[in-house]
Amino acid sequence: MSVDARQALLCWYAVDKRRLPWRAENNEPPDPYRVWLSEIMLQQTTVAAVKPYFERFTGRWPNVAALAAAPDDEVMREWAGLGYYARARNLLACARAVVADHGGRFPDDEAALMRLPGIGPYTAAAIAAIAFGRRAVVIDGNVERVIARLHAIATRLPAARVEIRARADALTPQEDAGDFAQAMMDLGATICTPRSPACHRCPVSAWCAAFREGVPERYPLKAPKATRPRREGEAYWLEHDGQVLLVRRPPKGLLGGMRALPTEPPTEARWREAGAVEHVFTHFALTMTLRCARLEAPAAPPVGEWWPVERIGEAGLPTLFAKLAARAIAWREAGPEG
């Protein structure tokens, strides 16, 4: 990509950029808190899924000091459904570190940003460039694809990442690094899409090697797919007097710290099988068998909290357990009682 191509990209971005709730409008300076929050939420999550969460979070906690002062429980509950819950715990830890160690202002360089909880190399580069205009090389999945196509990179992923980084570094301008990064991301998200790139509308097609070759969608070349392992588990829906037993998951590990259904029998009861729920995590697929029972008079209360079934939607259950709860409610309404 030449200087001309970069200019064409930036001109296109100035006119056609996506309007996103975390982006500054009307030449206002970007708000580092909003840039940071959006980047954490967008890790492994789509823009469409993030938007309502971002609006709710910034409505409730408009700045980093407000978020740092929020109770853990409230933040985890607002996060429920967004997945990858370690992000929510790191989010709070990071907000508190910014307040305690940096006087409530995000540091503006990559090295200092990376010392904060939950901020890895990509997020540090994105915040440094977008929030502070620092020159930083920002490579997300969209940018990776655009660069692989522009240069028709013949190496397969993940080995190709070395060359992609070198190319991206060479392309990143000294000035306007934030706009450049966002322009590349937008190009990948709206025009240079994975399956059917709209090359006829692309501002940099004149400089694109994959376009010249004629089959741009074959880039980036991928390694053959590994199959996702499958795991199995069980969940228990124990009801008593219109309430269901919920537990808090251990702080470390899968869905750590979240409210959930027990995954071991919480007490002796007449358990009945109520089907199974499938859920796909990044590294494995999980099938959870659901067992339901009703307690008339619990002798010793099982460990956990009784939660009103009709308010189960407010418990902040992560998606897997929300699906299991919906299944249990449907099962019990269909007739069989444990």
**Where on the chain is the footprint of ligand SF4 (CB under 6 A)?**
146, 149-150, 191-192, 197, 199, 202, 204-205, 208, 210-211, 216
C-beta closer to ligand SF4: residue 9 or 119 = 9
* Long-range contacts of the stretch 121-130 (C-beta < 8 A, 24+): 123/36, 123/39, 123/40, 123/43, 125/181, 126/35, 126/39, 126/181, 127/32, 127/35, 127/36, 127/39, 129/177, 129/178, 129/180, 129/181, 130/30, 130/35, 130/39, 130/178, 130/181, 130/182
Rounded to 10 degrees, the C-alpha dihedral 121/123/128/130 comes to: 140
Q: Which two tokens stand for residue 197?
A: 């790139």
Catalytic residue among 25, 28, 39, 314: 39
Taking the least distance from each CB to ligand SF4, the nearer of 218 and 270 is 218
What tokens were used for 136? Answer: 């930083």
Residue closer to ligand SF4 (CB basis): 209 or 309: 209
Does the active-site annotation cover 39? yes
Residue 195 or 283 having the CB closest to ligand SF4:
195
Residue identified by tokens 């899968």 is: 254
Closest CB to ligand SF4 among residues 102, 222: 222
For residues 40 and 268, what is the distance between their CA atoms, to the nearest angstrom?
A: 42
Q: How far is the CB of 23 from ligand SF4 (least distance, A)?
A: 22
Could you check whether the bond before residue 220 is cis, i.e. omega within 30 degrees of 0? yes
> Which residues have C-beta within 8 Å of that of residue 313, sequence separation ≥ 6?
none
- Residues tagged active-site: 39
